[in-house]
């Protein structure tokens, strides 16, 4: 099929694609999503085919506001409404007990479902016009970096889906934060566009799932099935270097050559002569790093780079999500040079 490019003026055409069981690229504030009618199991199965997504990796349902929660979830706790009130529309996905109406194709047979309200006016209008919840994972081919603009999504999905709605570049740039509200204390399954610290202000104590910070042992299962897959990976292998900026820059420079790709903070953009350098924002600006990290990971494909090093932010605020995406791209190949450097 020929993939059409639509704009925010084409809401009726976009909604019709969803209602007719088609596949639609949707802009959100986090990353572009690959959407289908979340109540149509056949359409949802096509998402897995188009992405090459493993069959055990469930999708998130996108809804226009918190009043739709009770249509698809039961035993919704007061904390879910408190979170929605404060953070929706926004980059927060809640895991809740699922109602029967949600097809197994969405949840991969789990008895829970992930739900979120995206903060993008065009996509909210499309969902309202289609009058169905939209099941959507990120709009990349499985294993590739998530798309943060319509062009990146077209690179991965051209001729595999009906249309992509171009809603401009994504303002947040990393996927939603996923919080499991079916357990006590609530559990962070994936760090994302909403910092953990802001969730703690509403929920109090939160457990961080092990898969967020470290690789899993063989056979170990994360609570968010998607966290077990190598993800976001450019074709060349990535090594993440953690520690202070000066020290990590020195470590990388000593090992870098002509065919080395470097993801670095803006302050160090000139520090790697002869390398292919992708700056992702200044050391202190984690929001900018989040917006640019996936584009940087994509940029090395199609170059002669054979190895990539990445400077890595600390875990506070949005740093937890940026660091997680870099470490997953690296398959958790991490060098920690320590506080004083090597």
User: Which residues are at the interface with ligand AMP (CB under 6 A)?
Assistant: 57-58, 60, 95, 107, 110, 112-114, 137-138, 175, 178, 189-190, 223-227
Question: What 3-state class would DSSP assign to 317?
Answer: coil
Residue 57 contact partner, candidates Mg ion, ligand AMP, none, CB within 5 to 8 A by sort of partner: ligand AMP
Min dist CB 176 to ligand AMP, Å, is 7
Residue 165 contact partner, candidates Mg ion, ligand AMP, none, CB within 5 to 8 A by sort of partner: none
276-279 and 260-264 strand pairing: parallel
Min dist CB 182 to ligand AMP, Å, is 9
Asked whether 83 and 92 are in contact (CB, 8 A), the reply is yes
Nearer to ligand AMP, 26 or 113 (CB): 113
Min dist CB 332 to ligand AMP, Å, is 16
Nearer to ligand AMP, 58 or 261 (CB): 58
Nearer to Mg ion, 138 or 176 (CB): 138
Question: What 3-state class would DSSP assign to 293?
Answer: helix
60-62 and 207-208 strand pairing: unpaired
Min dist CB 309 to ligand AMP, Å, is 26
Nearer to ligand AMP, 118 or 243 (CB): 118
Burial grade of 24 (CB within 10 A; 0-12, 13-18, 19 or more): buried
Q: Tokens 């690296």 appear where?
A: 330
Min dist CB 194 to ligand AMP, Å, is 14
Nearer to ligand AMP, 189 or 271 (CB): 189
Asked whether position 30 contacts Mg ion by CB under 5 A, the answer is: no
Edge-to-edge, what's the strand order for the sheet holding 177-180?
Answer: 4-7, 163-166, 24-26, 33-37, 134-136, 60-62, 112-116, 92-97, 177-180, 187-190, 207-208
Enumerate residues 6+ apart whose C-beta is below 8 A from 333. Answer: 237, 238, 239, 240
Min dist CB 221 to ligand AMP, Å, is 11
**HEC sequence for 43-68:** HHHHHHHHHCCCCCCCCEEECCCHHH
Residue 110 contact partner, candidates ligand AMP, Mg ion, none, CB within 5 to 8 A by sort of partner: ligand AMP
Asked whether 6 and 163 are in contact (CB, 8 A), the reply is yes
In the region spanning residues 121 to 160, those forming contacts with Mg ion, defined by CB under 5 A, are 138
Nearer to Mg ion, 93 or 138 (CB): 138
Looking at beta carbons, which residue is closest to Mg ion?
A: 138
Measured distance CA(174)–CA(101) in Å, rounded: 29
Min dist CB 26 to ligand AMP, Å, is 12
Nearer to ligand AMP, 191 or 261 (CB): 191
Asked whether 322 and 293 are in contact (CB, 8 A), the reply is yes
Residue 243 contact partner, candidates ligand AMP, Mg ion, none, CB within 5 to 8 A by sort of partner: none
| % helix, strand, coil for the chain, step of 5 | 35, 20, 45
Min dist CB 219 to ligand AMP, Å, is 17
Residue 113 contact partner, candidates ligand AMP, Mg ion, none, CB within 5 to 8 A by sort of partner: ligand AMP
Q: What is the CA radius of gyration of the chain?
A: 20
Residues in contact with Mg ion by the rule CB under 5 A: 138
């Amino acid at each position: 099929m020929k993939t059409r490019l639509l704009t925010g003026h084409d809401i009726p055409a976009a909604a019709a694609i969803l209602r007719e069981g088609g596949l639609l690229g949707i802009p959100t504030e986090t990353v572009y999503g690959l959407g289908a009618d979340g109540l149509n199991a056949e359409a949802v199965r096509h998402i897995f085919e188009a992405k090459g997504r493993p069959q055990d990796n469930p999708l998130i349902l996108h809804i226009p506001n918190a009043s739709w929660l009770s249509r698809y979830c039961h035993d919704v706790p007061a904390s879910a409404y408190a979170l929605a009130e404060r953070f929706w529309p926004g980059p927060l996905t809640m895991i809740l007990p699922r109602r029967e109406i949600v097809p197994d194709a969405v949840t991969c047979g789990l008895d829970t479902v992930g739900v979120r309200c995206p903060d993008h006016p065009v996509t909210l209008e499309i969902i309202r016009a289609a009058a169905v919840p939209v099941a959507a994972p990120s709009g990349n081919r499985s294993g590739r970096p998530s798309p943060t603009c319509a062009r990146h999504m077209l690179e991965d999905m051209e001729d595999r889906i009906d249309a992509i709605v171009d809603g401009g570049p994504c303002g947040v740039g990393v996927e939603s934060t996923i919080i499991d509200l079916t357990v006590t204390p609530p559990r962070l399954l994936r760090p994302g566009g909403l910092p953990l610290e802001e969730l703690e202000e509403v929920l109090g104590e939160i457990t961080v799932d092990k898969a967020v910070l470290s690789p899993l042992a063989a056979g170990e299962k994360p609570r968010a099935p998607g966290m077990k897959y190598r993800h976001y990976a450019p074709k060349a292998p990535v090594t993440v270097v953690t520690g202070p900026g000066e020290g990590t820059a020195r470590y990388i420079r000593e090992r870098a050559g002509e065919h080395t790709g470097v993801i670095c903070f803006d302050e160090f953009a000139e520090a790697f002569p002869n390398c292919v350098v992708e700056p992702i924002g200044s050391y202190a600006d984690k929001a900018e790093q989040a917006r640019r990290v996936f584009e940087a990971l994509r940029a090395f494909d199609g170059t002669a780079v054979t190895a990539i090093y990445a400077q890595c932010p600390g875990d506070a605020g949005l740093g937890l999500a940026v660091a997680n995406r870099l470490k997953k791209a690296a398959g958790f190949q991490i060098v920690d040079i320590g506080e004083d450097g090597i």
